[in-house]
Amino acid sequence: MDIVCVSHLRWDFVFQRPQHLLSRACRQGRVLYIEEPVFDDGPSRLTIADREHGVQVVVPVLERGLSLQAQQQFQTTEIPKLLCDHNITDYILWYYTPMALSFTTALKPLAVVYDCMDELSAFAGAPESLRELEHELFRCADVVFTGGQSLYEAKRSRHANVHAFPSSVDVAHFAKARAIGAEPADQANVGRPRIGFFGVIDERMDYPLLAGVAAARPEWHLVLIGPTAKVDPASLPSAPNIHFLGPKPYAALPSYIAGWDVAMLPFARNEATRFISPTKTPEYLAAGKPVVSTSIRDVVRPYGQQGLARIADTVDDFVAAIQAALKEKPAERLRAADAFLTHTSWEGTWTRMRQQIDEIIAGRMRRDGRRAVSAS
């Protein structure tokens, strides 16, 4: 099964849901991952590059100064040519962004998948046309997957075939943190105890909460790993015990988490976080760390309700939750986390998604066969 994916996320930015799923899809067919355009002074063109696991990343490199209409027309014309050049004829068209409808409506896939992993219209800088285009994508999609339960509840009335696939985890990868002893050089000199976070550092973070916790417990060290996006790095909270270590490769994350005493999810409660389902929650659990989070709905359910994460929103409550996590005996928590994670894997998620897609294609072939017989 070949897949042509159109996405707002750069493949090399952060290894997250699209990378987990499409890397597995490569075992069963080719995957072209089409990113948003970049611009330079040369003639417009498509570049294609191989990535690990077999994914081929396509980047439209557009001539600087092109109008939006010209940008869309170039992609509308050139992407079908690219598929023809690579002999990709029977494929799934997989959307992560409704904005891609502006240049993909002429494509003829076997099926259309919308993997709705975030409420993009709530993010800073979202285009005004996004809601309207998402409405159109719901109309033409054969199946909609959502990245969490809250998002499923918000979208299920908009399509007849919506399925919740919350954030999953590569347990074996993150479980390495339980046995790693060597410290990465840039974390080795950070004091203990350490309360850590990894992920994109953007408008979804509760920066006053971070600053308040750091001020309340100057002997604790807050470690944050990840790239910044849509925030001015100069505006981030600064204190001797707050350490921004920058982005790290996915392969290196267990070595950093191994040196943390508590893992945190210090998300703000705003429109951008209303429907998020943080992938890092089960990843922290697989790494064997206690988790403290603000009251993000998809963390409260199921992790908070099952005692797998402590939930706190104010500085005082967050400090108290971390303090309790630092004092706990880990054996019972580890048993509960491991029991929960036995039912959670990206392998299982991909298998169930693939089954949904196979059923759609099989049903379409049966209907086409009946029409062909009837017409004869």
Residue 227's CB is within 10 A of a number of other CB atoms, namely: 13
Kindly report the backbone phi and psi dihedral angles of residue 311, in degrees, each rounded to the nearest multiple of 5, phi listed first.
-115, 130
11 confidence band (pLDDT: 50, 70, 90): very high
> For 162-205, what is each residue's pLDDT tens digit?
999 998 999 999 999 999 989 999 999 999 999 999 999 999 99
> Is the N-terminal amide bond of 302 cis, ω within 30° of 0?
yes
What's the rounded mean pLDDT across residues 119-133? 88
Name the helix (H) or strand (E) containing 62: strand 56-63
128 or 60: whose pLDDT is higher? 60
Which domains occur in the chain, in start order? 2-168+346-375 (3.40.50.2000), 171-341 (3.40.50.2000)
Tell whether the model's pLDDT for residue 376 goes beyond 50: no
Q: What is the DSSP letter of 220?
A: S
Query: With contact defined as beta carbons under 8 Å apart, do 30 and 56 qualify?
Result: yes
What is the pLDDT confidence band of residue 373, given thresholds at 50, 70 and 90? very low
d(CA 163, CA 369): 27
Residues counted in the chain: 376
Q: Please tell me the predicted confidence (pLDDT) of residue 22.
A: 97
Q: What is the pLDDT of residues 193-234, one digit of tens each?
A: 999 999 999 999 999 999 999 999 999 999 999 999 989 999
Mean pLDDT to the nearest integer, 40-55: 94
What pLDDT, in 10s, does the model give residues 309-368?
Answer: 999 999 999 999 999 999 998 999 999 999 999 989 999 999 999 999 999 999 988 887
Q: What is the pLDDT of residues 248-282, one digit of tens each?
A: 999 999 999 999 999 999 999 998 899 999 999 99
Cα(149)–Cα(223) distance, rounded to whole angstroms?
A: 29
How far is 314 from 185, CA to CA, in rounded Å? 33
pLDDT for residue 372 = 35
Residue 269 to residue 277: CA distance in whole angstroms: 13
pLDDT-based confidence at 371, cuts 50/70/90? very low
The lowest-confidence range among 116-120, 124-128, 180-184, 344-348 is 124-128
Question: Please, which residues have CB within 8 angstroms of residue 282's CB and are 6 or more apart in sequence?
Answer: 167, 168, 169, 340, 341, 344
pLDDT band at 3 (very low <50, low <70, confident <90, very high): very high
Confidence of residue 126 (pLDDT cuts 50, 70, 90): confident
* pLDDT tens, position by position, 70-110: 999 999 999 999 999 999 999 999 999 999 999 999 999 99
Q: What's the rounded Cα separation, in Å, for the pair 98 and 117? A: 12
